[in-house]
């Protein structure tokens, strides 16, 4: 991979740490490590920052003055996109989908939503199941009519350009592991809009590292999630000039831990958040990393990782905890 061929705006704090989780690992009988992509630095960090380096690079290369993006109400991606826009003096138009149906005041106004406003956005809220791509195109048309130059960033920053950030992360992780003499048997991460897992799959394949990646789904059923990831991983490899390098068996997602739906938490998620915080002082979020850890804990207790060294890729998002205060507080008292 020769990523210098692609425009890139450099602002992430990289490389992110690769650290052991000895107390949590002991509780799960797993040699457990964490790749701290909650520490990427942009407005609190998170996995979208890696993607945004390449997306912003392309936007600036095209002369854009306005970023347009979308996500669920407590979107970590939106927070980081608005922050990136602020950093480069761009406008940012944000559309937030009321995907969970929650009308709680903390969900609609605290956490990431509060940070979006602090960073300069004026989010537009739309109903669940709105055609978000059409909504962004409509907004882009309005920006053009007003004389601006828009750049649309898909939900999660998940397209081949954004996925370059996680192809790069795969390379970064392998270099760190080699330097520490750490043999990784499996990488576990949340998978939603597909860009993080797809980039990792492409990066591992193109570097020849071939570390298996397990995505813990947070929204779509297994067949759909794996289809989305495989398609995007192939597109990313194509963009990198390496077509045909991605094999279908490289893409594995376990979507049995979604629970009642995207962004809806249950006791097992709360238990995962609590166990991780109280064993390692590590904060996860309720929507992505918390559900991924819920899955990792359950699979570890089933013996799925026996004898393995597992790295958990922390996608960030602890800022969203405050949007779930009314649900979390009664379970913690």
Closest to 271 (Cα-Cα) out of 21, 28, 26: 28
SS3 sequence of 165-230: HHHHHHHHHHHHHHHHCCCCCEEEEEECCCHHHHHHHHHHHHHCCCCCEEEEECCCCHHHHHHHHH
Catalytic residue among 29, 75, 158, 289: 75
| % helix, strand, coil for the chain, step of 5 | 50, 15, 35
DSSP assignment, residue 245?
Answer: -
Q: What is the dihedral of CA 176, 182, 187, 190, to 10 degrees?
A: -60
Coil, strand or helix: which one is 270?
helix
Is residue 193 part of the annotated active site? The answer reads no
Phi, psi of 293, deg, nearest 5: -70, -35
Alpha helices in 88-187 (DSSP H): 105-109, 111-118, 132-145, 160-180
List residues with catalytic annotation: 75
């Amino acid at each position: 991979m020769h990523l210098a061929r692609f425009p890139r705006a450099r602002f992430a704090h990289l490389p992110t740490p690769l650290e052991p989780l000895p107390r949590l690992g002991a509780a799960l009988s797993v040699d457990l490590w964490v790749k701290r992509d909650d520490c990427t630095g942009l407005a609190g960090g998170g996995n979208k920052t890696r993607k945004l380096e390449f997306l912003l690079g392309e936007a600036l290369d095209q002369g854009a003055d306005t970023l347009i993006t979308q996500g669920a109400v407590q979107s970590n991606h939106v927070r980081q996109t608005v922050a990136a826009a602020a950093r480069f003096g761009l406008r940012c138009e944000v559309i937030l989908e009321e995907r969970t149906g929650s009308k709680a005041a903390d969900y609609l106004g605290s956490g990431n939503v509060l940070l979006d406003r602090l960073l300069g956005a004026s989010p537009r809220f739309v109903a669940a199941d709105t055609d978000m791509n059409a909504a962004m195109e409509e907004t882009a048309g309005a920006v053009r009519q007003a004389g601006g130059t828009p750049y649309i960033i898909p939900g999660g920053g998940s397209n081949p350009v954004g996925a370059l950030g996680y192809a790069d992360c795969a390379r970064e992780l392998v270099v760190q592991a080699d330097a520490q003499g750490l043999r990784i048997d499996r990488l576990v991460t949340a998978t939603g809009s597909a860009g993080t897992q797809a980039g990792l799959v492409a990066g591992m394949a193109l570097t020849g590292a071939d570390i298996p990646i397990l995505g813990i789904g947070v929204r779509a059923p297994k067949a759909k999630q794996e289809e989305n990831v495989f398609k995007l991983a192939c597109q990313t490899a194509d963009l990198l000039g390496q077509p045909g390098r991605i094999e279908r068996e490289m893409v594995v997602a376990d979507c049995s831990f979604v629970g009642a739906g995207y962004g809806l938490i249950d006791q097992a998620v709360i238990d995962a958040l609590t166990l991780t915080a109280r064993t390692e002082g590590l904060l996860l979020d309720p929507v992505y990393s918390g559900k991924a850890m819920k899955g990792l804990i359950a699979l570890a207790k089933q013996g799925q990782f026996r004898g393995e060294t597992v790295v958990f890729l922390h996608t960030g998002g602890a800022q969203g905890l405050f949007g779930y205060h009314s649900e979390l507080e009664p379970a913690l008292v």
